[in-house]
């Protein structure tokens, strides 16, 4: 008889959360879940907001509650250096303070729900405390003091360095946000549509949960068009990949290629159709932004 599956958690607020031994990774959910999703985010990034509010984030939280997945977070804070301000660093510090109170999951969700415009640098101490007030039981003299004093400044710095290391030698400034690594396999930027589409992300998580070994042997690669800046990304041929997983990734590749073509035609942002309109060009998708520059598409 297979071991009885543990019951689901009663809700997101009851998910276990902890700081890993590396001092930077925050893990949420059942550590024994089959699917492990490692996310790299900057709290100020508008694409991270889209992932967390209307893309794959809500579906990931459902998977966490159902014990089908574990989430790991590496929190970057580079946007202040790119667009000015200190909001990213302040928000990461506040998230670490929320973890100390056992409220990371709830505060993390609220931060993206009430994310200011990227260009405004709106994560001030006062604003962060106002958002924290939306999380029952989070505000306290200790939490408020941690936010105002940047108590976890060392964590903010170490977490940013961990993000940069994740980019390796090819991306020394980090892989771009949001980036997802699922069961040690990174979703490439060309397949970013998977993260921004809740249906595709759900399909992908389900297929990996059902057949983790097949995901392990899946090879992802991008296919670049000869000219015009359009790219298509899809799984490399592999007989062990189940059709449903391949279909989810193929759909993402087609969506990305179509977005690239629309961008080239109108000289706009390649992800404009998927992302909410912003007053300035998002600076968080490093890999995507660099590819736009290489292809000569106006940003």
Query: Which domains can be identified in the chain, with CATH numbers?
Result: 12-166 (3.40.30.10), 188-295 (no CATH)
Q: What six digits make up the tokens of 160?
A: 């940013």
> Tokens 């000869």 sit at which residue?
226
* 259 contact partners, CB below 8 Å, separation of at least 6: 193, 270, 271, 273, 274
DSSP 177-229: SSEEEETTEEPPGGGTHHHH-HHHHHHHHHHHHH-HHHHHT--EEEEE-SSTT
Both tokens of 92, joined, read: 């990461």
Those residues whose C-beta lies under 8 Å from the C-beta of residue 283, and which sit 6 or more positions away, are 79, 82, 83, 118, 289
Q: For residue range 36-93, what is the model confidence (pLDDT) as tens digits?
A: 999 999 999 999 999 999 999 999 999 999 999 999 999 999 998 888 899 999 999 9
Q: Which residues pair with 234 in a beta bridge?
A: 221
What is the per-residue pLDDT across 236-282, written as a single tens digit (0 to 9) for each?
A: 434 333 444 555 555 555 554 454 444 344 333 333 333 333 333 35
pLDDT of residue 267: 37
Residues 48 and 254: their CA atoms lie apart, in Å, by: 21
d(CA 277, CA 117): 10
Using CA atoms, how far apart are residues 114 and 104, in angstroms rounded to an integer? 15
CA 31 to chain CA mean position, Å: 19
Give the CA angle between residues 115, 116, 121 to the nearest 5°.
125
Residue 176, both tokens: 């771009």
Stated pTM of the model: 0.79
Residue 224 has what pLDDT? Answer: 42
Instruction: For 167-184, write each residue's pLDDT tens digit.
Output: 999 999 999 999 999 999
Structure token pair of residue 241: 């990949």
């Amino acid at each position: 008889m297979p071991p009885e599956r543990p019951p689901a958690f009663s809700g997101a607020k009851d998910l276990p959360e902890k700081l890993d031994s590396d001092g930077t990774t925050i893990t949420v959910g059942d550590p024994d879940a089959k699917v492990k999703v490692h996310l790299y985010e900057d709290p100020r990034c508008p694409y991270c907001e889209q992932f967390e509010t209307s893309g794959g984030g809500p579906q990931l939280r459902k998977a966490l509650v159902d014990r089908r997945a574990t989430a790991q977070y590496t929190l970057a804070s580079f946007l202040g250096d790119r667009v000015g301000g200190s909001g990213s660093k302040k928000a990461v510090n506040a998230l670490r303070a929320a973890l100390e109170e056992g409220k990371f999951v709830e505060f993390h969700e609220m931060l993206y729900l009430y994310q200011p415009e990227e260009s405004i640098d709106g994560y001030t101490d006062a604003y962060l405390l106002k958002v924290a007030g939306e999380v029952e039981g989070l505000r306290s003299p200790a939490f408020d003091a941690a936010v105002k004093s940047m108590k976890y400044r060392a964590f903010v710095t170490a977490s940013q360095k961990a993000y940069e290391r994740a980019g390796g030698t090819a991306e020394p400034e980090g892989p771009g946000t949001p980036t997802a690594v699922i069961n040690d396999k990174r979703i490439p930027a060309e397949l970013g549509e998977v993260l921004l589409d809740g249906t595709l992300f759900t399909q992908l998580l389900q297929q990996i949960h059902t057949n983790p070994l097949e995901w392990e042997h899946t090879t992802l690669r991008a296919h670049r068009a000869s000219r015009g800046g359009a790219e298509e990304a899809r799984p490399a041929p592999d007989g062990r990949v189940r059709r449903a997983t391949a279909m989810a990734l193929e759909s993402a590749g087609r969506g990305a290629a179509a977005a690239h073509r629309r961008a080239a035609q109108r000289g706009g942002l390649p992800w404009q159709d998927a992302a909410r309109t912003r007053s300035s060009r998002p600076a968080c998708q490093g890999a995507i932004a660099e590819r736009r520059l290489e292809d000569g598409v106006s940003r």
